[in-house]
Homo-oligomer: A and B are copies of this chain.
Amino acid sequence: MSQTTMNGVINGVDVDRMGQTIQAIQQIPDLGTSQFRAVNRWISGGHNRSTIQSFYSAGQEDTTRTKPFILDADEPPVLLGQDQGANPVEHVLHALAACLTTGLVYHAAARGIRVESVESKLEGDLDLRGFLGISDTVRRGFKQIRVNFTVKSDATAEQLEELTKFSPVYDIVSNPVPVSIQIETR
């Protein structure tokens, strides 16, 4: 099967199934409603662990995952941790890199654009005075994130950049998401 046709698998993405999914959600918009979840448990100091398994998508609870993904987070020694995992802001960079890449690859596939390789390097600038409560005017999160992609494909840089912008994590990081926090004490 030719990689350049709109049929079959392009960039490892089944574009026939993608077309069917898009058509189904166009007809029944509620099928787009999804919910993703994580459960996290503190271990000690900066070390904690998330368990990720169940989610809701395409109108039902998805039960195809037979075991959870386990993700550890910690801080390096200079930030008073034991380095048992990447730290939380590094996980944000991973999530952003992964999502921009998937956005690029999936939307390229939908347009019949072949992608041969994608690599990205991300840098996020953070001033610890925010987290440590030393300054109220310094923000606590990243001030700025730079993403540098190197892509081998049929498309121009401008076309590819447009495709990355479909990324949900790009939206989450670039724009405000309402976060509600409830705490039950025991």
Contacts and interface: CB of A to CB of B under 8 A. Distances in A.
Interface of A: 11-14, 17-18, 21-22, 25-26, 29, 31-48, 50, 52, 55, 57-58, 62, 64-65, 69, 71, 73, 75-80, 83, 85-103, 105-107, 115, 117-135, 138-153, 155-157, 160-161, 164, 166-186
A14 B164 CA distance: 42
Contact of A157 (B21, B118, B169, B183): B183
Contacts of A124: 35-37
Contacts of A14: 80
A177 to B, nearest CB: 5
Number of copies: 2
15 contacts: A11-B44, A12-B47, A31-B128, A36-B89, A40-B101, A46-B105, A48-B102, A50-B94, A57-B128, A58-B78, A65-B76, A69-B85, A92-B169, A149-B182, A150-B183
Contacts of A35: 123-126
Given A132-B32, A184-B157, A69 B44 contact: no
Given A33-B127, A38-B93, A57-B76, 16 more contacts: A12-B46, A25-B134, A32-B127, A37-B123, A40-B121, A48-B97, A48-B102, A52-B94, A57-B78, A88-B169, A91-B169, A139-B175, A145-B178, A149-B181, A151-B185, A172-B173
A163 B47 CA distance: 17
A29 B129 contact: yes
A161 B121 CA distance: 34
- In the A-B complex, the 9 residue pairs with the smallest Cβ-Cβ separation, listed nearest first, are A12-B45, A141-B171, A12-B44, A88-B99, A73-B98, A40-B97, A141-B172, A42-B118, A91-B95
A175 B75 CA distance: 23
